Amino acid sequence: MTSTSAAAASRSHPASASTSTSASAPASAARPRPGSTVLGHPRQGADRELKKAVEGYWKGRVTADALRETAAGLRRDTWRRLADSGLDEVPTGDFSYYDHVLDTSVMVGAIPARHRAAVEADPLDGYFAMARGAQDVAPLEMTKWFDTNYHYLVPELGPDTVFTADSAKQVAELREALALGHTARPVLVGPVTYLLLAKPAPGVAADFEPLTLLDRLLPVYAEVLADLRAAGAAWVQLDEPALVQDRTRAELNALARAYRDLGALTDRPQLLVASYFDRLGEALPVLVRAPVDGLALDFTGPASVNLTDLAAVGGLPGKRLVAGVVDGRNVWINDLAASLTTLATLLGLADRVDVSTSCSLLHVPLDSAAERDLDPQLTRWLAFARQKTDEVVTLARGLGRGTDTVAARLAANRADLASRASSAITRDPAVRARSVAVTDADVRRDQPYAERTVAQQTRLGLPPLPTTTIGSFPQTDELRTARAALRAGRLDEAGYDERIEAEIREVVSFQEKAGLDVLVHGEPERNDMVQYFAERLTGYLATRHGWVQSYGTRYVRPPILAGDISRPAPMTVATTAYAQSLTNRPVKGMLTGPVTMLAWSFVRDDQPLGETARQVALALRDEVADLEAAGTAVIQVDEPALRETLPLRAADRPAYLEWATEAFRLTTAGVRPDTQIHTHMCYAEFGDILRAIDDLDADVISLEAARSHMRVADELAAARYPREAGPGVYDIHSPRVPSAEEMTVLLGTALEAIPARRLWVNPDCGLKTRGWAEVRTSLENLVAAARTVRGRFS
Ligand code: GLN
Ligand code: ZN
C-alpha cells in the first residue's frame, strides 16, 4: 500500500464515499462560511524566549515585570502570526508560565495547604513553588498528559477542598487579544477532565474520588464563564480529553450533569467542548445531547471513527462543529484532498463547521521552514505548527469557497505527498524484504529461560545477588563541554573519542574497585538514549529547532522517524569492546529498545506502528549480533517507554502489546543461549503490563522500586514472574546517599518475593543526572548491602 492510499484509507468511511467531490460546491448562503481555528499553540517563542525568561527569573536575573512583558510579547506574536496566516479565531488562555493544568488549579483555587502561604505572599513565586517545590515543601506530582510527551502537574484534592474562582489570568489574556483586534476564544481545561486528572491530596484516603467534588467545582466554572463573557468572550473552549479514555457509567453521568448545569447558565459565553487524542466513544452521545453550543472533535488517525459515530447519532443539528482534520501532534503534511472529503461529509452533520487542528499544537515544533539544514526534498513532507495553521486556513477556504480557490495548494500538496510516498527514504526495498521475511523462529530464543540460565551461569560465574548498574554514569561538565566543542569544530573526532575513552577508563576502574559484578561503560558518549541511536540509523532525521515542551522550562527535540530504518554501521560495539578490554568482569552492552525509539520520536504516519517497530528491531538485532560477536556476554535493551505508550483505551492495548513485545524479542532473540539479555523499565506501577513483561522473554529485568518499598517485587511474585529481576534499591531521583543498612533492608523485603538465585542488586535507573560524589558512596554502599545479604546464604 502506498502512503497516500494508506492515509486515504484511514480516513475513508462509508458516509464520505458518496460526497467525495461535493467539497468543490460552495456552502449554501444560509449557513455560515466555514471558519478556521486551532485548539491551542506552543508557548515558548521562536527562540525559546519563554524558557530563558522563566529560568532567568528563577535565578534572579530577570524581574517579574520583565518576565510578564516577555510573556505578553510572546502571546502577541503568536496571535498576530495566527491571524496573519488567515485564521479566523485565535485561542487565548492556553499560554502558561509552566503548565496549563497548574493554571487551572490556580483558577479554581485548588492550592495545596503546604503552598498556600507562599501563594498568598507572592502569587508568581507561589506558582513556581507548586511547580518545582521549595525548601522542604514538595512540588505537585508531575505526570504525562495522556499519551503525549508533555507532563502536567497533578491537582491534589480532598473532601475538604474548597474551590474559589480566580479568573484573572483568563480574563487578562482574553482582553489582550481583543484589544489587538482578534476574534478570541478562551481555552479552559474542562471541569470533568480536571477532576479526572486529579489525585487525593497527601493525607487523604487513597480511594477518595475527586470527581465527587463536581458539584462544588461547577459554580466556580460558572463564575469564570460569567467573567469571560463580561470581558467579551463570545465562545469558550472547554477541553475534555479525558473523555477519550474508557469511562464508567457514573463518570458519563457526571459528564452529563456538568454540561447540563453549565449549559443552563444564563450569563455565559457559547460553550465549545473539545476532545482529542482518540475517539469519543460512549461520551459522544452524552455530549451531543448536552445543552452546549458546539463540539470540537478529532478526525485524524484512529479518531476518525468519530465521523461515523457522529453520523450514527444524527450529527449536531443546531450546533457548531470544530473539525480537527489536521493532526495536531505529528509532524507530517496533511492529505488536503482527503481532509476536504471528510469535511464535505461533516458539512451535512452540523449547522456550522469550522476547520481546526485535532488538538493543541503544543505537541509540535513551531516552524519547519527554520530547518535549513534539512534537505528541502524532506522539508516538504513536514508540517510544524506554522504549516499546520496554513493547512487549516487552506482547508477552510477550499470548503467554503470551492476547491478551485485552493487548486494550486492542492496540486502542490499532491506532489509533496507523492514525493514522500515514492521516496527512496520511505521505501527501502532491502529493509522491506527483510521485514516481510521475519519468521516465528526469529522472535523466539532457541532455549527456554530455565535452560539458558544454566548456560549463562556457567559462562558468567556470578555470585548470588549479583550487582550491576542501569547503564549511565554521571554526565560531567567536561563531557558536555567536549560534545559542544566537537559540534563547534573546536575538537576533532579523535580528540573527542580520546575524551570518551578516558571517561570509560575511569568508570570501569571505579566499578572494579567498588566491587560491582556486571560492569557498564557508562554511556559517556550519549547525550540522550534515543537521539544517540537516531543519529546513527538511516531513516531518522534530526531537527535543529524542533523544540517541544516536555514540562515547565524543559524542552526536547524529538528525532523524526521519517523513513525505512537501517543501520549503516555498528553503533555501540567500539565503546563496549573498549570497556571490556579493560577488565575481566563482564561488561554489559547497552541499547535503547524499539518501542522506546518510537515513543520518544515523531513517527511516520504512513504505515502501522508495528511495522515501523519491526524495522527498528531488525536494525537493533544486528547491533546485538555484533556486540555478541565482539565478546559481549550481557546485553541490556532498555524499554522505559513500554508502559507509557499503552493506548488510551483498553480495547486497543492487546494489539499494541503484541507488536511491542514482538519487536523486543526480534531485537534480542537472535543471541546464543549463554548470552544474557537484560531489560530495564523505570516506573513502579506496571501491574497492567506484567504479562507483556513476561512476553519479552528477557533473562533479567531491572525496575524502579526504591521509593515504593519494593512493591514491584510482590507484583512480580504474584504474577509468578519466572526469570531474574533487580528491583532498584537506590533512588536515583534524589541526591541523597542511601546507607548500606537501608539497602540491606530493601533487599530483605525483595527476598520475601524473589528467591536469592533470581535477585539482582541495582539502582532504580541510570546515574547520568547525578554527581560523582554521591554515586561513588551510594554504589559502594550498594555492594556492601549485597555482600551482607549474600553472607546470610553461605
Ligand atoms: N541505560 C539508560 C541509562 O542508564 C536507561 C535510562 C532510562 O531508563 N531512562 O541512562
Ligand atoms: Zn530507568
- Residue nearest (by alpha carbon) to ligand 1 atom 1: 471
- Ligand 2 centroid to residue 745 C-alpha, Å: 22
Cell matching residue 124: 508568581
Atom of ligand 1 nearest to the CA of 471: 4
Ligand 1 site-directed mutation target among 144, 469, 470, most atoms within 8 Å of CB: 470
Amino acid at 66: A
Cell matching residue 94: 492556553
Task: Compute the C-alpha angle 413/415/417, nearest 5°.
Answer: 70
Confidence of residue 13 (pLDDT cuts 50, 70, 90): very low
- Is the pLDDT at 3 greater than 60? The verdict is no
Residue 538 near residue 618, CB atoms below 8 Å: no
- Ligand 1 centroid to residue 763 C-alpha, Å: 11
pLDDT of residue 18: 37
Ligand 1: list residues with CB < 6 Å: 470-472, 523, 529, 590, 638, 640, 680, 682, 765-766, 768
Mean pLDDT of the chain: 94
Closest CA to 524 of 546, 506, 550, 542: 506
Residue 686 near residue 712, CB atoms below 8 Å: yes
Pairing state of beta strands 588-592 and 634-638? parallel
Task: Compute the C-alpha angle 629/634/636, nearest 5°.
Answer: 110
pLDDT of residue 683: 75
Residue 350 near residue 320, CB atoms below 8 Å: yes
Closest CA to 325 of 358, 364, 277: 358
Angle at which helices 407-422 and 336-347 cross, to 10°: 130
- Is the pLDDT at 9 greater than 50? The verdict is no
Atom of ligand 1 nearest to the CA of 682: 8
Atom of ligand 1 nearest to the CA of 590: 1
Phi, psi of 270 (to 5 degrees): -70, 145
- The number of the ligand nearest the C-alpha atom of 472 reads 1
pLDDT of residue 34: 96
Closest CA to 759 of 737, 785, 732, 731: 785
pLDDT of residue 136: 87
Q: Is 182 among the residues known to form the active site? A: no
Model confidence over 450-500: pLDDT tens digits?
999 999 999 999 999 999 999 999 999 999 999 999 999 999 999 999 999
- Ligand 1 centroid to residue 54 C-alpha, Å: 28
Ligand 1 site-directed mutation target among 475, 587, 639, 680, most atoms within 8 Å of CB: 680
- The number of the ligand nearest the C-alpha atom of 592 reads 1
Closest CA to 30 of 392, 398, 347: 347
- Is the pLDDT at 513 greater than 90? The verdict is yes
pLDDT of residue 733: 87
- Ligand 2 centroid to residue 657 C-alpha, Å: 20
- Residue nearest (by alpha carbon) to ligand 1 atom 10: 766
- Residue nearest (by alpha carbon) to ligand 1 atom 3: 766
- Ligand 2 centroid to residue 356 C-alpha, Å: 37
Tell me the average pLDDT across 137-152: 94
Ligand 1 site-directed mutation target among 532, 638, 683, most atoms within 8 Å of CB: 638
- Residue nearest (by alpha carbon) to ligand 1 atom 4: 766
Pairing state of beta strands 560-566 and 538-541? antiparallel
pLDDT of residue 709: 85
pLDDT of residue 669: 98
Tell me the average pLDDT across 555-574: 98
Ligand 1 site-directed mutation target among 144, 473, 523, 527, most atoms within 8 Å of CB: 523
The Cα 38–Cα 707 span in angstroms is: 41
The Cα 124–Cα 58 span in angstroms is: 11
Residue 344 near residue 316, CB atoms below 8 Å: no
pLDDT of residue 293: 98
Phi, psi of 218 (to 5 degrees): -60, -40
Closest CA to 600 of 79, 107, 91, 144: 144
Place of cell 473539525: 323
Tell me the average pLDDT across 744-748: 97
Task: Name every residue whose Cβ is closer than 8 Å to that of residue 163 and which is 6 or more positions away in sequence.
Answer: 108, 109, 110, 213, 216, 217, 219, 220
- Ligand 2 centroid to residue 610 C-alpha, Å: 23
The Cα 766–Cα 595 span in angstroms is: 18
Amino acid at 251: E
- The number of the ligand nearest the C-alpha atom of 766 reads 1
The Cα 104–Cα 127 span in angstroms is: 11
Atom of ligand 1 nearest to the CA of 596: 9
Atom of ligand 1 nearest to the CA of 765: 8
pLDDT of residue 25: 42
Model confidence over 701-715: pLDDT tens digits?
999 998 888 989 999
Cell matching residue 312: 450514527
CA atoms within 13 A on the CB side of 80: 9
- Ligand 2 centroid to residue 767 C-alpha, Å: 9
Amino acid at 113: A
Residue 253 near residue 231, CB atoms below 8 Å: no
Cα separations (Å) of 118 from 62, 103, 302, 565, 774?
Answer: 20, 16, 44, 51, 31
Tell me the average pLDDT across 724-730: 97
pLDDT of residue 17: 36
Model confidence over 71-96: pLDDT tens digits?
999 999 999 999 999 999 999 999 99
pLDDT of residue 135: 86
- Is the pLDDT at 28 greater than 60? The verdict is no
Closest CA to 211 of 167, 242, 187: 242
Model confidence over 392-446: pLDDT tens digits?
999 999 999 999 999 999 999 999 999 999 999 999 999 999 999 999 999 999 9
- The number of the ligand nearest the C-alpha atom of 470 reads 1
- Residue nearest (by alpha carbon) to ligand 1 atom 6: 766
The Cα 139–Cα 132 span in angstroms is: 5
The Cα 359–Cα 325 span in angstroms is: 10
The single residue of 100, 182, 678, 733 carrying the catalytic annotation is 733
The Cα 628–Cα 573 span in angstroms is: 9
- Residue nearest (by alpha carbon) to ligand 1 atom 8: 640
Give DSSP secondary structure letters for 19-83.
TTTGGGSPPPTTSPPP-BB-S----S-TT-HHHHHHHHHHTTSS-HHHHHHHHHHHHHHHHHHHH
Tell me the average pLDDT across 565-570: 98
pLDDT of residue 30: 67
- Ligand 2 centroid to residue 372 C-alpha, Å: 34
How many residues in the chain?
A: 794
Task: Compute the C-alpha angle 549/550/555, nearest 5°.
Answer: 55
Confidence of residue 684 (pLDDT cuts 50, 70, 90): low
Q: Which of 151-155, 377-381, 733-737 has the lowest mean pLDDT?
A: 733-737
Atom of ligand 1 nearest to the CA of 472: 4
